[in-house]
Amino acid sequence: MMEMDVYTDMMSVDVFTEQRLPLQERVVDKLADIMFASDMILDMLRHDPKVVSVRHLSSVEPSVRQVYDSVNELMKQLTD
Is residue 3 very low, low, confident or very high in pLDDT (cuts 50, 70, 90)? low
pTM of the model: 0.69
Note the Cα 43 to chain centre separation in Å.
11
pLDDT of residue 1: 46
How many whole angstroms separate alpha carbon 50 and alpha carbon 71?
A: 28
How many whole angstroms separate alpha carbon 37 and alpha carbon 53?
A: 23
Contact 32, 72 (CB under 8 A): no
Domain boundaries, the chain: 15-79
How many whole angstroms separate alpha carbon 79 and alpha carbon 11?
A: 23
Q: Is the pLDDT of residue 10 over 90?
A: no
